[in-house]
Structure 1
Amino acid sequence: MAMLLAGCASTPSRAPKVDDDKTAHGPDPIPRAIRRQLGSMAATDAATHAALLDFYDRRHDEPAWFDAETHEPHPVSGRFLDYLAAIDQQGLSRRNIIDSTDWAALQTPGARQPAALAHQEVVLSRAFLQLAHDIDRGRVSGKPMHSESPPDPSDIDYGARLTTAVNNADPGRILDALPPEHARYRQLVAALAHYRAIQTAGGWPRIAAGPTLSAGMHDPRVAALRERLRIGGDLGAASAVANTANRYTPRLADAVRHFQRRHGLHADGRVGPDTLNAVDVPVAARIDTLALNLERWRWRWMPDDFGDRYIAVNIPAFALRAVDHGMTRLRMKVIVGSSRDNRATPVFGDRMRYLIFRPFWNVPHHIAVDEIIPHARRDPTYMAHHGYQIVRAFGPHATPLAVTPSHLAAVVAGRLQVRQAGGSGNALGLVKFMFPNRHAVYLHSTPASRLFNRSQRDLSHGCVRVANPVALARFALAGRGDWDTPRIEQAMHQDTRRRVNLAAPLPVYLMYWTAFVNADGVNFRRDLYGRDARLRQALAALPANSDHGPSVHADVRGTAVR
């Protein structure tokens, strides 16, 4: 936990002087023991140490969690321990906050000797600071997704929250005010609690391998499948009880379709290899995925307020939503970057500023060299047939050059460029939604509309292809009353390239959620680019009870909305 605390960040970490015979705090052994304990916290980072020193300086080293006279725990201690005991409901672990030895000692009722009291006192204060940070900012560190500057950790006074918690004897209320306020975060917290309850009850049955199951079949595996779908919430309890035979009923096929929709699978109501693999994922693995996505939310890689109108793409779900004042106005399928050959769609946000109808495709150098030039060298008509042009530099007014061996060689050498003329065969389709960014990644239409019929749609070079470009253009240009559906379609099919500015910049978020909640219930998606795996490794690399969160590789986190 990289904890820089307001009012404390500039306070140097210091080794307090302790005189066993004479101190500024008088003869009471408790303050002396607390000061000694603070001085021995070599493993605590400087900012956390400074926050603790400041907290106890203000208290003149008097205990906050224990009674100075009786040496017994205050009620606030029990409330904090109860909160910690249930922290796994938020995707965190009590064991990462307080080790098992200290936890056992803190559960022991009664008075403490001064040294034990001081140790447990500082352990509780340090645990509160760490937990406050972990709930508020996550256990790993990295860049936010947006540029509207989020609160810097140095501006977040967790020490003040600690003071409020002990003074009001209600740590839970203080800590509960820290998580992200988004409804989708709270939905995931509720989903995690539900899946932990399933785990406590014994989980769900495994389904044996065998031929594809479909409606009308009789198979001994059907009973286990029915129970699995009942536990997962895809099949009502009444249906599960009413159908005890090994017959694959139409009602069971409907439940399978519901399961398939929740897991991003082709919803055909049949249990083939892909569906069987998803059904057989243990509940513990689903809990892990939920916890990883809660950690992403706590990174605050998105603004607290998305804006009145925005576009959100969930990359692993191959899905886009367009939202206007809290209402989802559009949903559509998208195609995202391939999980192979370094073509992943990056996670970031920016602001859409204009549209281009009948855009050129400025072909990236590596695509031109790897995919276009070899064809052009074998077939002299290839470039003209596919609308490719050689130009000296990208730009709407660039003059195409002749397709000659020397010019092809110059493209390979990087001296010339390849672009594709606008039109129905252009790889970007007939409209491009522009939010200029360092990744050169945008939303655009596509001539290959048949690809939207696939359930796994990681097929692009990194840009996001949209299934309904007319509807998205209408949403983006809503502030321009002169741009209705007929005019948009006309601009897409006329012969000339045209740029149209939006009435106001429109936030666009390209996000990575492998677990989320919608009308179908709790959804899970494949870890398309291995970002869950890398986040899991980063969390596993944290030492127990660590104050320091490792930085996660940039492609796990995200970059800014400008």
Structure 2
Amino acid sequence: MNRLSLTLFGLTAVSVLVLTLLLVACGDPAYAATPPPATAAPASGAPADSTVPARQRLEEALARYQQVAQGGGWSTVPDGDLVEPGDTAATQVQALRDRLAASGELGGADPAGDVYDGALVGALARFQATHGLAVDSLLGGNTRAALNESADRRVEQIQSTLARWDELPAFPTGPDARYVVVNVPEFRVRAFEGGREALQMEVVVGASYDGRETPLFHDKMEHVIFRPYWGVPASIASEELVSQGPSALEGKGFEIAANYNADAEVYPMTWANLRRVGDGELRIRQTPGPDNALGLVKYMFPNQHAVYLHDTPADHLFEEADRAFSHGCIRLERPAEFGAWVLGPQGWDEARVRENMTTGDREKVVLDEEIPVYIVYLPVWADAGGAVHFAQDVYDEIN
């Protein structure tokens, strides 16, 4: 239990849930004021206690879910048409009310009735926010499937996550310790200083097919590169780019080079040279600029997987609930803000990071002190308010 005695998952989820409730039920005090049943997980309105170690919070959550499971679990929500706020659907509404009351999201604040409205709408939004779903308060197929996971299954998922937690390396400690944790199934990165969360944001991670999964490992960030080239991996070049032809590739800022070095010899973009790329003799890279697949900055912790943290021009992907789209690297929601934290001890602020992202030539900045980076896979966690979160098991890691 000592390995993760730091508050790994702090106030982030509380902030998300508060925003959700404001959007769907502004002015209704029921969510924060009504205590949940004794056997259920605490409501998001519970007082936040970031001093409780993250692993301990999950152990406490396990005990609560075991109590629910031993008491017979919760009822399921029957199949049916999509239910939207304001709809009348007697069977589904009552089943949903019973289900959310049993796990603590509703807390008994919603009066009986056949109409899907009021506190029940906010309770379902809260459930969606803590189960890796799109927060829209609609009772549809994905949400119904998550609701119908049994309490026994949730117990198993918590136990499996705790076992994975025990396999993690010890994180740095001390008042000056700085490190980064990427939790893949949560699609989120957190930066820590002195045991406290200093920064968090959403990320896009590797897709779950064709070997694109983001690998789980730890290393140390050594330097930052502004306006990077993208050295296209040979497999991507041969399987996805060569067939597009010279004109299409030039239009997207690609060039053929002898190797991935910035000063490498550049060859004409011809079909003949593209065939040499396909044969492994030459390489394809994308020149720096706003359309570069790596965006305008990348944070390097050299490793055998060629995985790193970087900007992206595809900002729209952060609007998705499931953000497993990359070839393995980790795309940052707010790369300039992340850079200000990384380079802050060297006198950089966000404005300076943005300036270097958008002006001048390619630049490499070496860190005065390397920053440990941990890429982990923890599908279940409990936030500082006591709410339990079940992420989508994007890589089917939890049995």
TM-score tier by shorter-chain length is 0.7 to 0.9
Aligned-residue Cα RMSD (Å) equals 1.8
Contact 1:351 1:505 in 2 (8 A): yes
Per the alignment, residue 224 of structure 2 pairs with: 355
Structure with the larger RCO, 1 or 2 (CA within 8 Å, 6+ apart): 2
Deviation at 1:407, TM superposition (A): 1.1
**2:385 corresponds to 1:385:** no
Q: Take 1:502 and 1:235, find their aligned partners in 2: how far apart are those partners?
A: 48
Other structure's SS at 2:267 match: coil
1:503 to 359, 368, 382: 368
Q: In the alignment, which residue of structure 2 is the partner of 1:94?
A: none
Hey, which of these two has a bigger chunk of strand by percent? 2
**Which residue does 1:529 correspond to in 2?**
395
Do structure 1's residue 191 and structure 2's residue 61 form an aligned pair?
yes
Residue of structure 2 equivalent to 1:422: 288
Alpha-carbon displacement from aligned partner over 1:321-377 (angstroms, at most 9, x marks no partner): 11222322222110000001110000111111111000000100010001110001x
In the alignment, what sits opposite 1:310?
179
* Distance change (3 Å), C-alpha of 1:306 and 1:288: farther
User: Any residues of structure 2 matched to 1:88-487 within 5 Å, and which?
Assistant: 183-220=53-90, 221-237=92-108, 239-240=109-110, 243-299=111-167, 301-305=168-172, 308-376=177-245, 380-481=246-347, 483-487=348-352
Distance 1:318 1:494 in 2: 30
Q: How does 1:17-28 map to 2 (within 5 A)?
A: none
CA shift, 1:399, in A, is 2.4
Tell me if the contact between 2:158 and 2:380 (Cα under 8 Å) persists in the aligned partners: yes
Identity of aligned residues (%): 37
CA drift at 1:434: 0.5
In the alignment, structure 2 segments of 5+ residues that lack a partner are 4-51
Contact between 2:173 and 2:194, CA under 8 Å: does it hold in 1? Answer: no
Q: Work out whether residues 136 and 298 of structure 1, in 8 Å CA contact, stay in contact via their aligned partners in 2.
A: no
Deviation at 1:495, TM superposition (A): 3.8
Superposition deviation, residue 189 in structure 1: 1.1
Distance 1:250 1:451 in 2: 31
Query: Residue type matched to 1:183 in 2?
Result: P
Whether contact under 8 Å (1:446, 1:466) holds in the other structure is yes
* Alignment of 1:515 onto 2:380: yes
What's the TM-score, normalizing by structure 2?
0.84
Cα drift, residue 250 of structure 1:
2.5
Tell me which residue corresponds to 1:98.
none
* Rounded Cα–Cα distance in structure 1 between residues aligned with 2:173 and 2:333: 23
User: Residue 206 of structure 1 aligns to which amino acid in structure 2?
Assistant: T
Letter in 1 for 2:212: R
| 1: CA distance, partners of 2:142 / 2:166 | 32
Distance in 2, Cα, partners of 1:518 & 1:422: 39
Counterpart-to-counterpart distance in 2, 1:429 and 1:354: 16
Q: Aligned AA for 1:432?
A: K
Taking the aligned partners of 1:457 and 1:442, their CA distance within structure 2 comes to 16
* Partner amino acid, structure 1, of 2:98: E
Residue correspondences, number: 348
CA contact (8 A) 1:514 1:524 kept: yes
Note the alpha carbon deviations across 1:535-560, whole angstroms, 9 max, x for none: xxxxxxxxxxxxxxxxxxxxxxxxxx
Alpha-carbon distance in structure 1 between the residues aligned to 2:67 and 2:78: 24
Give distance in 2, aligned partners of 1:505 and 1:477. 11
Supply the distance in 2 between the matched residues of 1:306 and 1:493 (Cα, whole angstroms): 35
Which sections of structure 1, spanning at least 5 residues, go unmatched? Answer: 1-134, 138-181, 534-562
User: Do the aligned partners of 2:173 and 2:195 also contact (CA within 8 Å) in 1?
Assistant: no
Distance, in Å, in 2 between the alignment partners of 1:417 and 1:306 is 42
Asked if the contact 1:312–1:320 (Cα under 8 Å) also holds between the matched residues in 2, the reply is yes
1:490 aligns with 2:355: yes
Q: By how many angstroms is 1:305 displaced? A: 3.6
SS at the partner of 1:356? strand
C-alpha distance in 2, partners of 1:250/1:502?
52
Task: Say if 1:326 and 1:304 are closer, same or farther in 2 by CA, change over 3 A.
Answer: closer
8 Å contact 2:226–2:357 — kept in the other structure? yes
CA distance in 2, matches of 1:136, 1:397: 48
Instruction: Give 1:214 deviation, angstroms.
Output: 2.0
Determine the C-alpha separation between the residues in 1 that align with 2:253 and 2:136: 39
Q: Could you say if the C-alpha distance between residues 233 and 306 of structure 1 is closer, same or farther in structure 2, counting changes exceeding 3 Å?
A: farther
Alpha-carbon deviations, 1:195-247, whole Å to 9, x = none? Answer: 0100122111100011112221121211111111112111122x14xx11122
1:344–1:529 CA contact under 8 A, matched in 2: yes
Specify the SS of the correspondent of 1:223.
helix
Shift of the 318–324 alpha-carbon distance from structure 1 to 2, 3 Å rule, reads same
Q: Distance in 2 between matches of 1:499 and 1:233?
A: 50
SS at match of 2:344: coil
Q: Which amino acid aligns with 1:327?
A: R
Alignment partner of 2:126: what SS? helix
Report the residue type matching 1:511 in the other structure. Answer: V
Q: What letter matches 1:261 in structure 2?
A: A
Q: Name segments (4+ residues, structure 1) moved above 3 Å.
A: 304-307
